[in-house]
Structure 1
Amino acid sequence: MTTTEVWCDRCGEPATAGAAHPGCTSARRLEPPRYCQHCRRRMKVQVLPVGWSAVCVEHGEIRG
């Protein structure tokens, strides 16, 4: 899959410059991402007392 579109990592909808996601932006300060920004796949998320990790089967793991 080769796409140049960027996806919202909270709701999975297109993250275009014209369509802001104010609810997603404020929620992401407290929550880990749920969708991969690159391919829109739902990620496996684990929340720990010291942070979180999210894994996309295509693009790997991110931590926060």
Structure 2
Amino acid sequence: MVLESVTSASAETPLTEPLVYSVYTGTPVAEGGDTDVPTAARLGLEPPRYCGRCGRRMVVQVVPTGWTAKCSRHGSVDSSDPTRR
């Protein structure tokens, strides 16, 4: 029974749409979208540092093969996740 609740909770990640906060700056996203994306992030070189759902700073680990990011409320996401932005 505990396994079922973990599985359903894992469907919501820090990068699940709709994003309320910018994943690179932690500021609220305007209605028109996030326009202040750093150049390194646009090139895919910078991992998200803030949870897009709650705006909390995430624990990020960068390794040569990618990165992982973990929000204390919304779980983990990594660079191989196909649902990331």
Q: What TM-score results when the alignment is normalised by the length of structure 1?
A: 0.79
Native 8 Å contact 2:21 2:51 kept in 1? yes
> What is the number of residues matched between the two proteins?
60
1:1-41 Cα offsets, whole Å, 9 max, x none, are xxx8610000001112336424x153322100000000000
**Greater length-normalized contact order (CA 8 Å, ≥ 6 residues apart):** 2
Q: Which has the larger radius of gyration?
A: 2
| Runs of 4+ with deviation above 4 angstroms | none
Give 5+ residue unaligned stretches, structure 2: 1-17, 80-85
Looking at secondary structure, tell me which structure has more strand per residue. Answer: 1
**Of Structure 1 and Structure 2, which has the larger fraction of its residues in helix?**
2
Percent identity over the alignment is 43
What is the CA RMSD across the aligned residues, in angstroms? Answer: 2.0
Query: Which residue of the partner structure matches residue 14 of structure 1?
Result: 28
Give the whole-Å Cα distance in 1 for the aligned partners of 2:61 and 2:70: 9
